[in-house]
């Protein structure tokens, strides 16, 4: 059996049906371009008949994305298929994806049709679609709640009519892995002409089993998986592309299958989608969440520092991330604490380390996460001096919709005070430019994130930045009820980390 798994991405069609996830034509095109770079085999660009926007987005993607199959959805009726065919005219590799419901509950209450009428309409739809494109995909909607004997008969007839891909949707996320696996096997073995079409699955996540069901189907012979970036989609979403791909990659020994996905583009694609639709990625989201490569437990930190594979089954760079992060908190041990002090260039005697660690644990009991600023203060108290090179003494912002944002910054640098002013595209940019003028350090801002860490109008805001300085990256964090102050403190924090690692020996990791 062919062990190549084809990845069909439906972020722009099923994924966009998530409440609040609607995208403009330009945004959908931007995602489609990134999906092509990611290496997906097919992009479902939309449902052209449903609106002029869906039609125009499909047509633009079909015209400009040339190296990936572009698919348009259509019900098994001529107006839908006509709209899909027209939208796909510019495509280098077009595919019409036609569907009709096959479960008793859908046929009775939604379609108000008998099974024989559904079969007839499905065959007509596939036959008609083949007049326009060489590839037709057919989906019996709500397949997992359909009568198996009827489903087998339906699939046989649409393959005879020209369907080249048969997709089995678990439309409401009802299946569990063992029964879904048996269902896929029954279809593979029961449909006489199944060898003439590619078998695909489309699993929803209502019970949290979308990925598990998809992987089970792969074991039973499915060779296309329909999925979405970050698992977005109707209700609880779809099987997540990044989880499926990395499960197949990490467990090649178990599945023996490959994809064409460039896994180094996974993180970029995930973040792009999150930024465009303003859906934050959960910290504990597999593969792409902030905590996916973060370690706070002292036992885990100790193991990681001794040998990464003790607690990581994949490398961050495999999915386009730059680092594993040791998070210092109440569960951290002395090993992780010492490692962070070393990375910050802080040298303490054994007695000073013990004293500093005790103070760290006291602070960690009051805070979810202890930042480098806190460690600088703790070690400064222990050493009887301030370890940070730069201290923010003052900032002032002039900004508005009719004025040029201008920032004035005063930093204390060791025993000297310096002040500078700068303009920028916005108040935050002006602050960062003014700080750069004071420090004269060449920086590139790679990432800027804002998080409200307490509720209410007076929420405490946490800002994190990642700076690139001389081919190394430095993380900075700052918090305040004033987000501009938090931004300034985060930027200064990153520069302090740079200064501390600049002179410390044997510290290759900045983050």
> DSSP state, 310?
G
**Exposed/middle/buried for 115, CB within 10 Å: 0-12, 13-18, 19+?**
middle
> Domain spans of the chain?
6-277, 294-383, 390-502
- Quote the pLDDT of residue 307: 46
- Quote the pLDDT of residue 511: 40
Write out the chain's pLDDT in tens, 511 residues: 689 999 999 999 999 988 788 888 988 999 999 999 999 999 999 999 999 999 999 999 999 999 999 999 999 999 999 999 999 999 999 999 999 999 999 999 999 999 999 999 999 999 999 999 999 999 999 999 999 999 999 999 999 999 999 999 999 999 999 999 999 999 999 999 999 999 999 999 999 999 999 999 999 999 999 999 999 999 999 999 999 999 999 999 999 999 999 999 998 899 889 888 888 888 889 998 877 766 444 544 455 445 455 657 788 888 887 655 555 665 667 777 777 677 666 667 788 788 878 877 876 776 666 666 567 656 655 554 445 688 899 999 999 888 899 999 999 998 899 999 999 999 999 999 999 999 999 999 999 988 765 455 545 577 889 999 988 888 787 777 788 988 998 899 889 878 866 644 333 333 4
Q: CB neighbours of 479 closer than 8 A, spacing ≥ 6?
A: 453, 460, 461, 462, 463, 486, 489
Q: Which helix (H) or strand (E) holds 382?
A: helix 372-383
Q: How far is CA 462 from the centre of its chain?
A: 21
Q: Which helix (H) or strand (E) holds 451?
A: strand 444-452
The sign of the torsion formed by the CA atoms of 217, 218, 224, 227 equals: positive
- Angle, alpha carbons 271-275-278 (nearest 5°): 125
pTM of the model: 0.68
How far is 421 from 433, CA to CA, in rounded Å? 8
> Could you please report the per-residue DSSP string of 227-285?
EBGGG--STT-B-BHHHHHHHHHHTHHHH--B----GGGHHHHHHHHHHHHT-PPPTT-
State the fold for domain 390-502: Double Stranded RNA Binding Domain (3.30.160)
- Quote the pLDDT of residue 315: 80
- Quote the pLDDT of residue 351: 81
- Quote the pLDDT of residue 386: 45
Residue with tokens 């002032």: 396
Q: What CATH code would you report for 6-277?
A: 3.20.20.70
Residue with tokens 């495509």: 91
């Amino acid at each position: 059996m062919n062990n190549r798994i084809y990845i069909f991405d439906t972020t722009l069609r099923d994924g966009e049906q998530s409440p609040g996830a609607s995208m403009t034509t330009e945004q959908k095109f931007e995602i489609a371009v990134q999906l092509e770079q990611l290496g997906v085999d097919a992009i479902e660009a939309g449902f052209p008949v449903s609106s002029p926007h869906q039609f125009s987005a499909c047509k633009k993607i079909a015209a400009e994305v040339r190296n990936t199959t572009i698919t348009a959805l259509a019900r098994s009726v001529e107006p839908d298929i006509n709209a899909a065919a027209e939208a796909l005219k510019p495509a280098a590799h077009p595919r019409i994806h036609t569907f009709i419901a096959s479960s008793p509950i859908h046929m009775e209450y939604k379609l108000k049709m008998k099974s024989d009428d559904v079969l007839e309409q499905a065959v007509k739809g596939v036959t008609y679609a083949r007049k326009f494109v060489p590839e037709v995909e057919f989906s019996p909607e709500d397949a997992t709640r359909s009568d198996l004997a009827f489903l087998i008969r339906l699939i046989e007839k649409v393959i005879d009519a020209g369907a080249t891909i048969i997709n089995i949707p678990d439309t409401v996320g009802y299946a569990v892995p063992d029964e879904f696996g048996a269902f896929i096997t029954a279809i593979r073995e029961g449909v006489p002409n199944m060898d003439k079409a590619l078998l695909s699955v489309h699993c929803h996540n209502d019970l949290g089993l979308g990925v598990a069901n998809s992987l089970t189907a792969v074991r039973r012979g499915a060779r296309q998986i329909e999925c979405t970036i970050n698992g977005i989609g109707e209700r609880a979403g779809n099987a997540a592309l990044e989880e499926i791909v990395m499960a197949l990659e990490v467990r090649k020994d178990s599945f023996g299958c490959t994809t064409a996905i460039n896994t180094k583009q996974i993180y970029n694609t995930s973040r792009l989608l999150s930024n465009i639709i303003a859906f934050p990625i959960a910290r504990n989201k597999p593969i792409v969440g902030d905590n996916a490569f973060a370690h706070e437990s002292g036992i885990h930190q100790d193991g990681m520092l001794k040998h990464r594979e003790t607690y990581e089954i994949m490398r961050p760079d495999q999915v386009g991330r730059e680092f594993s992060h040791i998070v210092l908190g109440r569960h951290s041990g002395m090993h992780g604490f010492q490692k962070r002090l070393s990375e910050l260039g802080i040298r303490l005697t054994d007695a000073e380390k013990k004293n500093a660690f005790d103070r760290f644990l006291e602070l960690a009991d009051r805070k979810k996460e202890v930042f480098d600023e806190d460690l600088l203060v703790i070690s400064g108290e222990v050493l009887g001096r301030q370890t940070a090179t730069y201290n923010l003494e003052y900032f002032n912002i002039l900004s508005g919709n009719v004025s040029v944002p201008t920032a004035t910054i005063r930093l204390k640098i060791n025993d000297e005070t310096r002040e500078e002013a700068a303009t920028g595209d916005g108040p935050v940019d002006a602050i960062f430019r003014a700080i750069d003028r004071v420090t004269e350090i060449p920086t590139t801002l790679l990432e800027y994130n804002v998080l409200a860490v307490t509720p209410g109008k007076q929420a405490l805001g946490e800002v994190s930045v990642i700076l690139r300085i001389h081919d190394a990256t430095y993380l900075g964090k700052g918090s305040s009820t004033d987000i501009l102050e938090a931004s300034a403190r985060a930027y200064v924090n990153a520069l302090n980390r740079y200064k501390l690692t600049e002179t410390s020996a044997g510290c290759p990791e900045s983050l």
